[in-house]
C-alpha cells in the first residue's frame, strides 16, 4: 500500500516536491540539526523564516574541508566552499519545509518499523531498547533528530525506485544514449607523470615561508587520538598438538555419515510422453509388452528403443540416467523403482508424472565407508580448528565478563586475559585511518563515554578473528601548525605545484607540435619523455587499468561526442598523478540493434534515472528561486 501511494504521488505535483530529497545529501542526522531559533553562537542566514546557526554552517564547512586535506586551497576557494555549505543547508531546509507542508514525509508507523527491524538494535533477533539508546548516546543525537532522518530516507528511497520505473523517453533519445555510452574509439595517449620530475624540483626557505604566511589557515593538524587497547586474536592461539587417537576415533564414529558413500545406481530408460491422459493406458500396455519380449529374449533393450523411435506417432526419450544416489533423482516414484529393481532386470511400466517409463538397472555401486587412515589427517585438522574456536570463544566470554565486573580497568583486563596493553599510532579522526576504519571502533572513540569521561569501551569485534576493548590514551583537538611543523608539508605541496606546472607546459608544447605533424605523435612524445599508449576500438566497458592517469585520460577521450575533423587533440589535467595529451582519431557509435533485449532494458533504466535526476535538479532550482534566502555571515574564521 505504501509503495502504491508513492507511485501515485509520482504522477502529480506532489512528486515534484519530493524530487528534492534525492539529490540532497543530509549531513549528520538530518536537516533538523540546522533548524535553530535564536542560537547563542550567532545566525549565518535565514531561509524562509528559518534561522541557520553559525555553528551548523561551520560544521558543514568542516565536513567539506575534510575532503581537501593536503590540498592547496586558496582563501577564495575556501570562501567558495563556505558558500557551498550554506547552499546545501538552505536546499535541505527548503525541501524539508515543502515536504512537511504537504504532509509527505514518512509516517510514524514506517519509522517505527524501520527502527524495530534494524539488526543493529536487536539481541537474539528481538528489538532491544537498550541497544537503541546506546546507539543514540554514542552518536550524540536525539531520538527526534534520528527519527526525522529516517523519515527523509524512507521518502527518498521509495521515490527513487518509483521514478526509475516511471521515467518516459522516446526511441530517439535512447538511441542517442546508446550511441555514445556504447561507442568504441581509437585513442592515442601521451602521459607526463609528476613522479618523473618532482625529485628534480627544489624549493627554498623563502618560498616556504611566503606560502605559510599567505595560506597559514590551510596548514593545520586535524583532531586526532592515540588509543590503548587490549586485544584477543584467534590467530595468536597456540597450535593444538595434543590430539589423541581416542579423540580421532570418537570423531570418526560420530561423523560416520560424513565419510560414508551411499549406494548408487545407474540405469537406462525408455520414456514415452502421452499427449492426452486417455493415451496413457495404451502406452503403458505397449511398454509392458516390449518388456516381456526383452525378458523372453525376443528383443533387446536397444532394439526396442529403435522400434519406438521409428514410430513417428510416439514421443520418446531414452538413454542413461547416470550414477545416482537414492533421493538424487528428483522424482519419488522413479527413485523407488530404481532402487527396488535388481541389476540387469527391467521394471514394469509406470507413470512418474513426467512420462511413462521402463527402467533397466545396469550397474550398482555398493555403499562404502572411507578408511579411517585415509581421513585421519583431515580429522586432526578439524579437531584442531574446533579446539581453537572453543578457546577463542572462551576468551571472548572472559573479555565480556571482565568488562562487566570492572568496566574501566584496562590493566586488570589485560592481566585476566594474559594479554599486553597495546598502543596505536596517532589516528586522524577526519580521515578515519588505521583502526578507525572499523566503524564500531570509530563510533566508540567518538562517544561521550570515551571522549569526555575517559571510560573503556565495551567489547568490539574487529573482523571475525579479533575482539578488543579500548580507551583513549591521548586526544588532541584540531589546531594550526607552526611554520616548523608545516615545513615538510609545504615543501611537498610547492614541489607538486611546480611539477604539475612543468609537465603541463610540456604537454601543451607537445600538443602544438602534433597538431602540425600528427603522424609524428609517437616520435614527438618519446622525445618529450612522455609514456605512449595506443588503444584501438576501445570501449568504456572493457578498460581495466591499474594506471590511474591512463584511466583518467581514457575517460576524457570519451567526452568527445563526435569527430568533426580527422582527429582531435585534447589535454587531461584532472589526475593528481600527472597530465595527458589524448588524440581521438576514430569514433564508432553504438547501435541499439547490437544489444540483447535484456541489456537494452538495463540501459533504459539507467537513462530513466539520468532523466529523473535532471528533472530533480530543475525543480530544486525553481524551489530556491521562489524562496526567501537571507545570508547574514559567511566570513571565514
Q: CATH number for the domain including 27?
A: 1.10.4030.10
Q: What is the pLDDT of residues 40-74, one digit of tens each?
A: 458 888 888 888 888 888 878 877 776 676 566 77
Residue 253, domain member (yes or no): no
Residue 255, domain member (yes or no): no
Q: Do 504 and 454 lie in a common domain?
A: no
User: Which of 299, 272, 269, 268 minimizes the C-alpha distance to 283?
Assistant: 272
The pLDDT, as a whole number, for residue 105 is 53
Q: Do 458 and 509 lie in a common domain?
A: no
Can you give the CATH number for the domain in which 287 is found?
3.10.50.40
Q: Do 332 and 351 lie in a common domain?
A: yes
Q: Do 127 and 36 lie in a common domain?
A: yes
Instruction: Tell which of 366, 385, 415 closes a domain.
Output: 366
The pLDDT, as a whole number, for residue 5 is 34
Q: How many domains does the chain have?
A: 4
Please give the Cα distance from 423 to 411 (Å, whole number): 13
CB 527 within 8 A of CB 555: no
Residue 177, domain member (yes or no): no
Query: In sequence order, which residues have a C-beta less than 8 Å from that of residue 52 and are 6 or more positions away?
Result: 34, 36, 43, 44, 45, 46, 86, 89, 90, 93
Please give the Cα distance from 569 to 190 (Å, whole number): 11
Q: Do 126 and 7 lie in a common domain?
A: yes
Q: Do 530 and 613 lie in a common domain?
A: no
Instruction: Tell which of 331, 366, 401 closes a domain.
Output: 366
The pLDDT, as a whole number, for residue 21 is 34
Can you give the CATH number for the domain in which 432 is found?
3.10.50
Q: Do 470 and 506 lie in a common domain?
A: no
Residue 116, domain member (yes or no): yes
User: Which of 385, 389, 402 minimizes the C-alpha distance to 230?
Assistant: 402
Q: Do 145 and 233 lie in a common domain?
A: no
Tabulate helix, strand, coil % of the chain (nearest 5). 55, 20, 30
Q: Do 149 and 17 lie in a common domain?
A: yes
Instruction: Tell which of 303, 336, 366 closes a domain.
Output: 366
CB 319 within 8 A of CB 326: no
Q: Do 45 and 156 lie in a common domain?
A: yes
Q: What is the pLDDT of residues 32-49, one digit of tens each?
A: 443 443 334 588 888 888
Domain range for 348: 263-366
Residue 581, domain member (yes or no): yes
Residue 81, domain member (yes or no): yes
The pLDDT, as a whole number, for residue 547 is 81
Q: Do 188 and 147 lie in a common domain?
A: no
Q: Do 551 and 614 lie in a common domain?
A: no
Residue 251, domain member (yes or no): no
Residue 247, domain member (yes or no): no
The pLDDT, as a whole number, for residue 18 is 35
pLDDT < 70: residue spans in the chain: 1-41, 66-67, 69-72, 95-109, 124, 138-141, 145, 148, 152-172, 541-546, 608-620, 623, 633-637
Please give the Cα distance from 611 to 606 (Å, whole number): 9
C-alpha 637: how far from its chain's center? 37
Amino acid at each position: 500500500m505504501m509503495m502504491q501511494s508513492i507511485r501515485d504521488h509520482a504522477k502529480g505535483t506532489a512528486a515534484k516536491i519530493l524530487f528534492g530529497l534525492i539529490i540532497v545529501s543530509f549531513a549528520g542526522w538530518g536537516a533538523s540539526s540546522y533548524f535553530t531559533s535564536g542560537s547563542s553562537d550567532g545566525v549565518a542566514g535565514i531561509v524562509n523564516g528559518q534561522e541557520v546557526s553559525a555553528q551548523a554552517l561551520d560544521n558543514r564547512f568542516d565536513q567539506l574541508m575534510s575532503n581537501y586535506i593536503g590540498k592547496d586551497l586558496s582563501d577564495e576557494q575556501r570562501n567558495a566552499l563556505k558558500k557551498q555549505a550554506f547552499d546545501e543547508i538552505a536546499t535541505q531546509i527548503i525541501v524539508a519545509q515543502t515536504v512537511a507542508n504537504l504532509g509527505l514525509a514518512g509516517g510514524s508507523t514506517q519509522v517505527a518499523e524501520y527502527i524495530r527491524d534494524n539488526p543493529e538494535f536487536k539481541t537474539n533477533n528481538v528489538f532491544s531498547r537498550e541497544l537503541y539508546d546506546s546507539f543514540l548516546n554514542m552518536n550524540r543525537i536525539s531520538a527526534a533528530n534520528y527519527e526525522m532522518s529516517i523519515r527523509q530516507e524512507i521518502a527518498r528511497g521509495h521515490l527513487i525506485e518509483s521514478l526509475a520505473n516511471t521515467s518516459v523517453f522516446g526511441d530517439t533519445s535512447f538511441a542517442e544514449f546508446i550511441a555514445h555510452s556504447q561507442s568504441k574509439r581509437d585513442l592515442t595517449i601521451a602521459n607526463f607523470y609528476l613522479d618523473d620530475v618532482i625529485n628534480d624540483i627544489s624549493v627554498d626557505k623563502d618560498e616556504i615561508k611566503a606560502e605559510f604566511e599567505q595560506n597559514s589557515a590551510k596548514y593545520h593538524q586535524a583532531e586526532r587520538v592515540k588509543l590503548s587497547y587490549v586485544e584477543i586474536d584467534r590467530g595468536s592461539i597456540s597450535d593444538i598438538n595434543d590430539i589423541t587417537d581416542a579423540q580421532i576415533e570418537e570423531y570418526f564414529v560420530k561423523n560416520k555419515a560424513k565419510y560414508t558413500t551411499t549406494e548408487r545406481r545407474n540405469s537406462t530408460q525408455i520414456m514415452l510422453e502421452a499427449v492426452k491422459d486417455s493415451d496413457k493406458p495404451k502406452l503403458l500396455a505397449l511398454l509392458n509388452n516390449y518388456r516381456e519380449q526383452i525378458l523372453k529374449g525376443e528383443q533387446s533393450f536397444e532394439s526396442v528403443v529403435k522400434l519406438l523411435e521409428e514410430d513417428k506417432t510416439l514421443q520418446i526419450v531414452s538413454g542413461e540416467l547416470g550414477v545416482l544416489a537414492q533421493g538424487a533423482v528428483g522424482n519419488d516414484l522413479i527413485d523407488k523403482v530404481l532402487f527396488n529393481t535388481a541389476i540387469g532386470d527391467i521394471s514394469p511400466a509406470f507413470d512418474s508424472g513426467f512420462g511413462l517409463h521402463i527402467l533397466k538397472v545396469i550397474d550398482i555401486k555398493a555403499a562404502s565407508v572411507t578408511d579411517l587412515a585415509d581421513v585421519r589427517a583431515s580429522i586432526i585438522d578439524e579437531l584442531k580448528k574446533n579446539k581453537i574456536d572453543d578457546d577463542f570463544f572462551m576468551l571472548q566470554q572472559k573479555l565480556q565478563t571482565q568488562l562487566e565486573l570492572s568496566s574501566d580497568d584496562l590493566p586488570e583486563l589485560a592481566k585476566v586475559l594474559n594479554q599486553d596493553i597495546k598502543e596505536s599510532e596517532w589516528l586522524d579522526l577526519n580521515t578515519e585511518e588505521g583502526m578507525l576504519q572499523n566503524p564500531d571502533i570509530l563510533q566508540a572513540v567518538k562517544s561521550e563515554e570515551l571522549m569526555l569521561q575517559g571510560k573503556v569501551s565495551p567489547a568490539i569485534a574487529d573482523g571475525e578473528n579479533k575482539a578488543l576493548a579500548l580507551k583513549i590514551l591521548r586526544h588532541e583537538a584540531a589546531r594550526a601548525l607552526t611554520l616548523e611543523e608545516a615545513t615538510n608539508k609545504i615543501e611537498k605541496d610547492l614541489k607538486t605545484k611546480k611539477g604539475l606546472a612543468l609537465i603541463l607546459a610540456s604537454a601543451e608544447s607537445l600538443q602544438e607540435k602534433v597538431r602540425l605533424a600528427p603522424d609524428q605523435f609517437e616520435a614527438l612524445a618519446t622525445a618529450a619523455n612522455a609514456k605512449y599508449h595506443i588503444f584501438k576500438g576501445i570501449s568504456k566497458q572493457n578498460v581495466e587499468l591499474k594506471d590511474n592517469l591512463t584511466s583518467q585520460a581514457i575517460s576524457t577521450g570519451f567526452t568527445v561526442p563526435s569527430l568533426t575533423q580527422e582527429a582531435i587533440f585534447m589535454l587531461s589535467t584532472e589526475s593528481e598523478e600527472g597530465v595527458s595529451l589524448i588524440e581521438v582519431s576514430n569514433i564508432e557509435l553504438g547501435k541499439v540493434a547490437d544489444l540483447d533485449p535484456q541489456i537494452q532494458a538495463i540501459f533504459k533504466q539507467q537513462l530513466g534515472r539520468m532523466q529523473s535526476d535532471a528533472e530533480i535538479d530543475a525543480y530544486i532550482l525553481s524551489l530556491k528561486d521562489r524562496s526567501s534566502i537571507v545570508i547574514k555571515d559567511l566570513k571565514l574564521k
